[in-house]
Amino acid sequence: MSKIAMIGAGSWATALAQVLAQKDYSAVLWARRQELADLINDGENSRYLPGIPLHAKVTADTDLERVLQGAEAVVFGVPSHCFRDLLKKALPFLQPGAQIINVAKGLEESTLLRLSQVFAQEVGEAALDRYTVLSGPSHAEEVGRNIPTAVVAASRNLATAEYVQDLFMSTNFRIYTNPDVTGVELSGALKNIIALGTGIADGLEYGDNTKAAMMTRGLAEITRLGFSMGAELLTFAGLAGVGDLIVTCTSMHSRNRRCGIEIGRGKTLEEAVESVKMVVEGVRTTRVAWQLAKQQGVEMPITEQIYRVLFENCSPRTAVMHLMGRGKKLEMEEIVSEKISCTMDQGREEKQ
C-alpha cells in the first residue's frame, strides 16, 4: 500500500498516523530528535501519546529526504510557528504532485497569514489545488483510541478534499468536505483563544454559566472576524467552528484549556505553558487575532481581554469585570447588520 509522510511526531501527527496505518498505509513520521523516533519505532510515543500501542505500519525517521521519498501525500502536523520553515526544508524532496495536508491550528505570527497563504507564498498559488486543511473536534488522545470522531477536509479543489476524505475516512473517523478554506483555518485557530478563556474561568472557579457565555460570545466574535476576512458564515456553525470550540473549551485533553486553568489559578503565562509540556497554539494566536481585529476594524472583546491577561499583566478577575461591564448590546447586532448590508449591496450590484 502507499506511503504517507507525516512532518512532526507529536500527539496529533502520531494519532493520524495510527488512523492511516489501520487503513494499511505506511505512515512514516519525521521527528527532529532521534530519541523521539526511537520511542515510536519501539511501538509507543510515550512522550506525546502515552498508553497507545502503535500499529506496526507507523514508523519514524529523522531523515527528512527519506521520509518524503515516494510519499503520495504529506501531512504537516507541526505547530504553526514552524510550518513555513519545515515546508521550505521539505520542498526539494516532495514527490511531484504530492498532496499536502495541514492539520495545524494557528496563524503565522510575523505576517498574520493563514497557513494556506503561507503555503501559496512558498509553493505558488496554483499549488493550492492540492492543499487541504483538516480540522474539527478531534483530540489526539481520543482519535488514537479509535473513539468515533468527525472532522472537515477543506480545499478549494473538491477533488483534493475528496482525496483526503477517502484517505482518512474509517469506521471511527468520519470526514466531511468543505470548500471554505478561510473559514475552516480561522475557526480552528481562533477557538484556541476562547479555550484559554474558558480555562481561565475554570481556574477562577466560575461556573458553567460563565463558560457557556464565553463560548457563545466567543463564537460570535470569531464569526465576526472570519466573515470580515471572507469566510462563509455557515462554516462557524459546523464541525470546524462550533464543534471544535465545544471540544476545546470543555475537554481536559485540551492543552489550551489546561493552560488557561493554570493562569486562572495564578500561574504566570510562562509557568502555565511550561506545565502543559505540549504546544499551546492559542498564546501566539491571541497576539495575531488582536492585530487582525484592529486591522479589520472588528470588535473582539474576549480576545482583547485575554490579550491583556496574557501580555499586559491584567488580572483574570479584572478582565472578566471589563467584559461584564461593557455597554448594552443587541445579541446579533454586528453579524446580522453586516450580513444584511452585504446582501443588500450584492442585490444592488446585481440590479445594475
Enzyme catalytic residues? 191
67 vs 263, which CB is nearer to ligand 13P?
263
Q: How far is the CB of 255 from ligand 13P (least distance, A)?
A: 4
Q: Which of residues 256-315 bind ligand 13P (CB under 6 A)?
A: 256, 281
Q: How far is the CB of 91 from ligand 13P (least distance, A)?
A: 26
Residue 138 in marked binding region: yes
252 vs 342, which CB is nearer to ligand 13P?
252
**How many other C-beta atoms can be found within 10 angstroms of the C-beta atom of residue 278?**
16
Cell of 296: 479589520
**Please, what's the b/e burial string for 193-218 (b: 16 or more CB within 10 A of its CB; e: otherwise)?**
bbbbbbbbbbbbebeeebbebbbebb
Distance separating alpha carbons of residues 317 and 144, to the nearest angstrom: 37
DSSP per residue over 271-308, as a string? HHHHHH-S--HHHHHHHHHHHHHHHHT---HHHHHHHH
Q: Which residue among 45, 138, 160, 285 contacts ligand 13P (CB under 6 A)? A: 138
| Residue whose entry in the numeric block shows the C-alpha cell 461584564 | 324
Cell of 45: 510515543
Kindly state the number of chain residues that form the binding site for ligand NDP, as judged by CB under 6 A.
27
| Residue whose entry in the numeric block shows the C-alpha cell 495541514 | 102
Residue 105 in marked binding region: yes
Would you count residue 211 as binding ligand 13P (CB under 6 A)? no
Would you count residue 103 as binding ligand NDP (CB under 6 A)? yes
* Strand 149-154 versus strand 3-7 pairing type: unpaired
Q: Which residue among 79, 226, 241, 264 contacts ligand NDP (CB under 6 A)? A: 79
Distance separating alpha carbons of residues 337 and 345, to the nearest angstrom: 12
142 vs 338, which CB is nearer to ligand 13P?
142
Would you count residue 195 as binding ligand 13P (CB under 6 A)? yes
Angle between helices 301-311 and 181-203 (to 10 degrees): 60
Would you count residue 255 as binding ligand 13P (CB under 6 A)? yes
From residue 134, give the alpha-carbon distance in Å to each of 102, 109, 166, 340: 6, 20, 13, 31
73 vs 319, which CB is nearer to ligand NDP?
73
Residues annotated within a binding site for NAD(+): 140, 255
Interface ranges with ligand 13P (CB under 6 A): 105, 137-139, 192, 195, 244, 247-248, 253-256, 281
Residue ranges that bind ligand NDP, judged by CB under 6 A: 8-13, 31-33, 36, 48, 77-80, 82, 86, 103-106, 138-140, 278-279, 281
